[in-house]
Structure 1
Amino acid sequence: MARVDIDNVVKHYGAVQVVHGVSTAIEDGEFVILVGPSGCGKSTLLRMIAGLEHVSGGTVSIDGEVVNDVAPKDRNIAMVFQNYALYPHMTVAQNMAFSLKLAGVPRQEMQAKVGNAARTLGLETLLDRFPGQLSGGQRQRVAMGRAIVRDPEVFLFDEPLSNLDAKLRVQMRAEIKALHQRLKTTTIYVTHDQVEAMTMADRIVVMRDGIIEQVGTPLDLYDAPANLFVAGFLGSPTMNFIEGRIEGGRFLNDDGISIAAPAELPEALVTVGIRPNLVGLADKGSPFEVLVVEPTGAETQLVLQAGKTQLVALVQGRVALQPGASVGITFDPAGLHLFDRRTGMRLPQMSPS
């Protein structure tokens, strides 16, 4: 196992810069997820750690050694790709053993390593099959097994679940997390799926446009997002945002919403954020029209509108509402977030003391 240090890393493709001086550290044995929208630089950063992309500036270190100029095969890392990258003409056992064979590992040791990985991943009965005879989840396990047999210091995962259906993604998330808990190997995982990030990571690195927006535990980022981007990216359904102003110790907007604010806050243009599960329905309160009713069984998701303000409310159970109905809205003051509308940065908690 090893610590990974990323220090002021930059990546250029010709005149285009796609990673802008990124710095972070992944501790020994930690499971860190790089998350962000497509094109944010997360996969490029992962490939620089793996040695598959040249580092244009800054340093990547593994276990204290700068590896900028070290070949991928000499970095003692193992990478699991989005498309599995299995050899179709080889059996499961041959695919898992291939890197060991290239490294000249003795046959008996190679068989033992493949057997141990197969038992860990539940592949014992599939060792003689070819990739074309496997399901997507089984192929993903084989790709993981090929990485495990190398006994690397660092595991790298590049969106490994994006080709799987929704049910299988949930299953594989749990299996990858359980695997990490058993092996305790430093793991860096790339995804654009914030649910994967929230459920799997020890810490999350949120990226946008080649920079890091915030680093922290899943609940730290959920409860205290640094800015509007992080607040809107993490959480499903996404956080509601209401534009308005602080005036006379209250948050006000042009559509009739009024919420108590900390008295010490100066008058300013702000955006209030509120999670959908903290938007409540009431007989009184700010009136909203129901636009959409989406029952899911245990919960009901409502899309609501008042003037130009549109909100999503996630309520427990089932509600007897139809589109066009009028409802009152209340907000849990402990769950309100306040952001500077000009900079997008988080301000002190909204709830009054």
Structure 2
Amino acid sequence: MATVNIRNVQKRFGAVNVIHGINVDIADGEFVVLVGPSGCGKSTLLRMIAGLEETSDGEIRIGARDVSNLPARDRDIAMVFQNYALYPHMSVADNMGFALKLKKADAAEITGRVNKAAAILGLEKLLDRYPKQLSGGQRQRVAMGRALVRDPQVFLFDEPLSNLDAKLRVQMRAEIKSLHQRIKTTTIYVTHDQIEAMTMADKIVVLHDGVIEQVGAPLELYDRPANLFVAGFIGSPSMNFLDGRIEEGVFRTDKGLVLPLPENLKLSPPAGPLVYGVRPEHIRSTASGIAGTVGLVEGTGSEIFAKLDCGGEEISCLFRERLTIGYGDKLTVSIDPAHIHLFDKASGQRI
């Protein structure tokens, strides 16, 4: 196990700069998730940590060593890819032990490490099978086992669950987190799925256009997003955003809808144009309050998602109580003042 320290790392492809001076400190044994939309630079950053992509500037340290210019084989890392990358002509056991065989490790040591990893991942009965005889989830376990037998200082995961169906993704997500809790190896995990990030990470790094928007624990990002991008990206369904201003102790949207403000709010100097943010789950159905007309209803059994037209403003709501509502129904809702977010419209920063 080891710390990973990234200092002012940049990446340029010709004249195009895709990573803009990133700084991240990852503690020994920490599970860190790099998350962001496609094209934000998260996989490029992971590949630079792995040594599969050269850095244009900056320094990457694994433990006490500066590995910025070391080849991948000398960095003591193990990587799990999205596409499994298993050798089809090799058995599960041979796939898992192949890296050790290349290093000319003793046969008994290889067998011991493979058997230990197979026991951790539930692969004991599959060691003689070939990749074509395995399900997608089993193949991903083999890819994880191949990384595990190397006993690296750092595990790197590059969107490893993207090729799995929804149910299997949930299962594998739990298995990867459980594995980390048992072996405590420093782990860096890339995904575009913010649910994976929220459920798995000790710390999340939110990337956008090659820069870090915010770093923090999952609930820190959820409760106190630094800006509009993080607020909209973290959380599902997405946060409601309404443009307007503070007038006479209330927030008045550009379309005239009056909304409550957080208690003890102090803005100095007086705020200009703002964006009002509230998550759908922090809106409740009440006997009186903000009046709206139901435009969409989606029920999942445990929750009801609805979109309301409130004086020309569309507001998304997530109700956990059982409501009998349908398209065109009238509904009144209230917003929890403790969970209101305000952002400066010009800069996008939280205030």
Residues 135 and 263 (structure 1), Cα distance of their counterparts in 2 relative to 1, 3 Å cut: closer
Question: How many angstroms apart in 2 are the aligned matches of 1:66 and 1:259?
Answer: 52
1:263: how far off?
5.4
Please list the CA deviations of residues 281-338 of structure 1 after superposition, one character each: whole Å capped at 9, or x if unmatched: 2232221110011111111110111244111111113211111112112100000011
Q: Give the secondary structure class of the aligned counterpart of 2:274.
A: strand
The residue that corresponds to 2:279 in the other structure is: 275
Question: How many angstroms apart in 2 are the aligned matches of 1:258 and 1:279?
Answer: 12
Question: How many angstroms apart in 2 are the aligned matches of 1:310 and 1:334?
Answer: 21
CA contact (8 A) 1:297 1:317 kept: no
Give 2:305's match in structure 1, choosing from 291, 297, 301.
301
The residue that corresponds to 2:331 in the other structure is: 327
The residue that corresponds to 1:351 in the other structure is: none
Q: Give the secondary structure class of the aligned counterpart of 1:283.
A: strand
CA contact (8 A) 1:255 1:306 kept: no
The residue that corresponds to 1:209 in the other structure is: 209
User: 5 Å matches for 1:207-246?
Assistant: 207-246=207-246
**Partner AA of 1:279 in structure 2:** I
The residue that corresponds to 1:192 in the other structure is: 192
User: 5 Å matches for 1:1-353?
Assistant: 1-253=1-253, 254-260=255-261, 262=264, 264-265=266-267, 266-347=270-351
1:16: how far off?
1.0
Q: Give the secondary structure class of the aligned counterpart of 1:229.
A: helix
Question: How many angstroms apart in 1 are the aligned matches of 2:187 and 2:91?
Answer: 27
Question: How many angstroms apart in 1 are the aligned matches of 2:35 and 2:300?
Answer: 27
Question: How many angstroms apart in 2 are the aligned matches of 1:152 and 1:72?
Answer: 12
Please list the CA deviations of residues 63-84 of structure 1 after superposition, one character each: whole Å capped at 9, or x if unmatched: 0211111110010000000000
Q: Which moved more, 1:236-245 or 1:213-222?
A: 236-245
**Partner AA of 1:264 in structure 2:** K
Please list the CA deviations of residues 230-254 of structure 1 after superposition, one character each: whole Å capped at 9, or x if unmatched: 0110111111111110122221112
Question: How many angstroms apart in 2 are the aligned matches of 1:229 and 1:169?
Answer: 26
Question: How many angstroms apart in 1 are the aligned matches of 2:143 and 2:59?
Answer: 28
CA contact (8 A) 1:277 1:315 kept: yes
Residues 150 and 290 (structure 1), Cα distance of their counterparts in 2 relative to 1, 3 Å cut: same
**Partner AA of 1:258 in structure 2:** L
Question: How many angstroms apart in 1 are the aligned matches of 2:336 and 2:3?
Answer: 41
TM-score normalised by the chain length of structure 2: 0.97
**Partner AA of 2:121 in structure 1:** L
1:344: how far off?
0.6
Residues 66 and 323 (structure 1), Cα distance of their counterparts in 2 relative to 1, 3 Å cut: same
Q: Give the secondary structure class of the aligned counterpart of 1:199.
A: helix
Q: Give the secondary structure class of the aligned counterpart of 1:285.
A: strand
Q: Give the secondary structure class of the aligned counterpart of 2:29.
A: coil
Question: How many angstroms apart in 2 are the aligned matches of 1:260 and 1:37?
Answer: 31
Q: Give the secondary structure class of the aligned counterpart of 1:260.
A: coil
Residues 267 and 249 (structure 1), Cα distance of their counterparts in 2 relative to 1, 3 Å cut: farther
Question: How many angstroms apart in 1 are the aligned matches of 2:3 and 2:88?
Answer: 34
Identify unmatched segments of 5+ residues in structure 1: 348-353
Q: How well do the aligned residues superpose, as a CA RMSD in angstroms?
A: 1.0
**Partner AA of 1:7 in structure 2:** R
TM-score normalised by the chain length of structure 1: 0.96
Question: How many angstroms apart in 1 are the aligned matches of 2:201 and 2:265?
Answer: 37
CA contact (8 A) 2:257 2:313 kept: no
Identify unmatched segments of 5+ residues in structure 2: none
1:259: how far off?
1.6
CA contact (8 A) 1:82 1:159 kept: yes
